[in-house]
Structure formats: C-alpha cells, structure tokens
C-alpha cells in the first residue's frame, strides 16, 4: 500500500479513526474507518474497509486491554498487520485551540503543554483528545503528529462576535466566543467551491445539525460568527444540550435548587435539549415517528431556533445567498429542513419538495432567491488534508492536495 495518514478522534470511552492512502503523492483515498470502543468496560476494536466490509471485529477482556494505551497498542498491531507499516503522519481532532491557534499545528511536547491549559475550557473533550497524542509521542516519537482544532476556523471573527459584554480581564484570560465544529465548516466551505462556485464567495449560513449542533455565518468562505460560544453548550438546542440559556437559570439552580457544579454540568450536557424537552429521546428519528405532542414541541423548538439563528446571521452578513444543511439531522431529515424553510420564506427561500425528500445536493426550487443545499460533511477528510499539507510543506513540495 502507498503511504498513509491516520486521522484520530479521541473520545471519553471510544476512539474513532480513519486511514487515508496518499494516492500519487497528492490525493487522499479513504481505505479504513473504525473505532476502539468500550475502553474500561468491554474493549472492542472494529474496523471496516472502504467498501464497508469488516476488516476486524475483536473484543478483549479488561485484563488484556485495561487502559487506553493498551487499546492503542492493539490498533498499532492491527495497522502493521493490515497495512504493513505505520502511517507516515497522524492528524488529531483537538476540540480546543484556545485564542491563539488559528491553524493546524505540528505536535511538540511544548504544544501539548499549551493545549493542556485549555482543559478547563473543554473538560469533557480536551483530555480525551490529548491522550492519544501523548501515547504516540511516547511510543512512536518520530511519527509526525498534527493537531487540528475545532476552534481554529472561527479565530478570525470580528471583535463584536468574539467577545462577551463582560470585564476585560475575563476576556484576556480566555472567556470569549470561540465557536466549534470548525473542521466541518471548513470542509463545507471547500465543497461549496465545487458544488456552487458562484455562491462560495458569497454570504452563506451553514447549519451543522448532528448530536451536537451549531450554525456558522460564512462571508466569502470565512467564518464571521458562530452560534456556539465559550463552550459547545450555547446556540441551538441539541440532542441533550439546551443551547441558548439565560445564565440566570444557572444561578437559580445554584441558589434555589442547591445544585452543585458537577450536577449542573451533568444536567446541561446530558439531560436537556431534545431529550429534556420531549421527555422521549435525544434522537430526531424517534421524535419524527412519535405521535406525542411533546415530540412535536421539541421538533418545533429545533426548527424555530435554527430559523431565528439564520435570521440573526443574515443580519450579521448583510443578507444571505445560501443556506446549507449538514451532519446527521441536516443530511437526513427532510421534515426538519422543510420546517426551517417554512419559517424562512420571508427572505426568499423556497424548497423543491422532491429534491428535499431525496436529500439531493441542491434542494431549493429553481428561482428561489436564496439557494439551499444538503452537503454531507467530512471532518476526517479535512484533518487528513491539513496533515497532508503540513507533510508537503515539510518536504518543501506541492502545497495543496489535488481534489477529485
């Protein structure tokens, strides 16, 4: 096999990864995707090839694979066996790059130390993102590692979108509106150049609607605002997170309900959003098939907030040329897209019912003043592209991946 790049997305009890072959030195071909799950409970490595065929599905006892590094050792053994050699570089998704990291960065021990400072800003994600990086630094110190940040794409926001109306000292120490899902938005901004080159340089609002959900305002391909802020709790209602919330509610929970910080954190990350509102499920598929009025309320709430953020971003952009839907809900739920579009007919968005039902790429009706697209996101390919670009820069060679 040609040289490969491994993309790693480390979570709390699982690690997702994808392997890309570098085809002819400058194009990326996905060859494997898989995950290590059940770390600490029932460790399992499952990997599928590019056609979806299972390449390995193996479980271990907790005595054999007790810790994350044991699981990563097993992944290395599998890669050596399947590919014949280790990847030439690893690209990692790192949720928080703080105020300073505006682009993917080569991992060094100093970088890891700096990224550790942002753990309090993303306590649920940052430690899990850093652990595989430390493992590779220790076990395979010569392997090039690249940290790709979910915040980086948003670092160019104008000050009015980057700040909260709070005292300066809090801003200086890092309390600002970072925005997340940046790798997804960057990928969509690049895809738009192929899908709708006439619009890619215009005013675009993207709705990344997955289990975590946010929106981004793009001006000429650059992010100028995001619905997520200091943490990934703000903005749209999500599967289990509330989205926009009056901070007075947190004060109420503290002073009147006697709840502690950890309890409130658990409530906000795990029991709110569509799950809390419906009392049924965090999954839009369950809500769409339910006849319970509370399921309808949760879906209405979701569509209402997507539409109102689209309105807000239309003001931020001084108009709108296109709305793009992406991620699990955005790519697969025509009913949600239609409900949003119904609320946005005032700015001239009209969907083609047939194209929307089929999840086609362009779902706006011919003649709709605002265009509407469904573009599947690919954060892993974005990370692989960044890693390849850094490899090429280091080799002093070609700068950009040749896109298919």
- Residue placing its CB nearer to ligand AMP in the complex, 337 or 386: 337
Query: Which residue, 214 or 314, has its beta carbon nearer to ligand AMP?
Result: 214
Distance between CA 258 and CA 90 in Å, rounded?
45
- Helix/strand/coil for 46: strand
Instruction: State the residue for tokens 């940046």.
Output: 182
Alpha-helical segments (H) within 47-148: 68-83, 109-116, 126-139
- The nearer residue to ligand AMP, 107 or 351, going by C-beta atoms, is 351
Asked if 232 interacts with ligand AMP (CB under 6 A), we say: no
Strand partners, 214: 208
Whether 234 is catalytic is no
Question: 282-301: which residues touch ligand AMP (CB under 6 A)?
Answer: 283-285
Count of residues near ligand AMP by CB under 6 A:
11
CA–CA dist 217, 310 (Å, integer): 8
Q: Which of 190, 211, 219, 244 binds ligand AMP (CB under 6 A)?
A: 211
Closest C-alpha to 157, from 96, 217, 234, 213: 217
Q: Does 239 bind ligand AMP (CB under 6 A)?
A: yes
Contact characters 333-352, ligand AMP, x per CB under 6 A:
x-------------------
Check 63, 73, 100, 150 and give the catalytic one. 150
Residue 257 binds ligand AMP (CB under 6 A):
no
Among 188, 310, 327, 384, binds ligand AMP (CB under 6 A): 327
**What b/e sequence results for 127-153 when a residue is b if at least 16 CB atoms lie within 10 Å of its CB, and e otherwise?**
ebbbebbebbeeeeeeebbbbbbbbbb
190 counts as binding ligand AMP under rule CB under 6 A: no
Pick between residue 231 and residue 240 the one whose CB is nearest to ligand AMP. Answer: 240
Question: Residue 214 contacts by C-beta under 8 Å, 6 or more apart in sequence?
Answer: 179, 180, 181, 208, 226, 227, 228, 232, 235, 236
329 binds ligand AMP (CB under 6 A): yes
The neighbour count for residue 58, using CB atoms within 10 Å, is 12
- Residues of this chain that interact with ligand AMP (CB under 6 A) are 210-211, 239, 283-285, 327-329, 332-333
Residues labelled catalytic: 150
């Amino acid at each position: 096999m040609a040289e490969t790049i491994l993309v790693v997305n480390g979570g709390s009890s699982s690690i997702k990864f994808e392997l890309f072959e570098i085809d002819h030195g400058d194009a990326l071909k996905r060859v494997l995707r898989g995950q290590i799950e059940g770390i600490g409970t029932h460790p399992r490595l499952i990997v599928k090839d590019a056609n979806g065929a299972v390449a390995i599905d193996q479980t271990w006892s907790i005595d054999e694979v007790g810790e994350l590094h044991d699981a990563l050792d097993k992944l290395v053994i599998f890669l050596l066996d399947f590919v014949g050699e280790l990847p030439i570089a690893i690209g990692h998704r790192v949720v928080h790059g703080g105020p300073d990291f505006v682009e993917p960065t080569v991992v060094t021990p100093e970088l890891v130390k700096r990224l550790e400072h942002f753990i309090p800003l993303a306590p649920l994600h940052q430690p899990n993102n850093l652990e595989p990086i430390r493992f590779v630094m220790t076990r395979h110190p010569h392997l090039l590692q690249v940290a790709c940040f979910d915040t980086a794409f948003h670092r160019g926001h104008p000050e009015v979108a980057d700040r909260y109306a709070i005292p300066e000292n809090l801003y200086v120490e890092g309390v600002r509106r970072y925005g997340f899902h940046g790798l997804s938005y960057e990928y969509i901004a690049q895809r738009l150049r192929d899908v709708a080159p006439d619009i890619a340089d215009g005013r675009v609002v993207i709705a990344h609607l997955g289990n975590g959900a946010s929106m981004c305002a793009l001006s000429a391909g650059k992010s100028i605002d995001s619905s997520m802020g200091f943490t990934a709790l703000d903005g749209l209602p999500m599967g289990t997170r509330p989205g926009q919330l009056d901070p007075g509610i947190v004060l109420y929970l503290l002073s009147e309900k006697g709840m502690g910080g950890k309890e409130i954190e658990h409530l906000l990350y795990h029991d709110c959003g569509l799950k809390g509102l419906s009392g049924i499920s965090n999954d839009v598929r369950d809500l769409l098939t339910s006849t319970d009025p509370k399921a309808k309320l949760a879906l209405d709430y979701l569509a209402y907030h997507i539409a109102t953020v689209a309105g807000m971003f239309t003001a931020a952009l001084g108009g709108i040329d296109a709305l793009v839907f992406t991620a699990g809900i955005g790519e697969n739920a025509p009913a949600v897209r239609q409900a949003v579009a119904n609320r946005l007919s005032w700015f001239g968005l009209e969907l083609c019912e047939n194209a929307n039902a089929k999840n086609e790429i362009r779902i706006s009706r011919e003649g709709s003043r605002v265009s509407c697209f469904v573009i599947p996101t690919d954060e892993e390919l974005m990370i692989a592209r960044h890693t390849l670009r850094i490899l090429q820069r280091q080799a002093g060679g070609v700068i950009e991946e040749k896109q298919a």
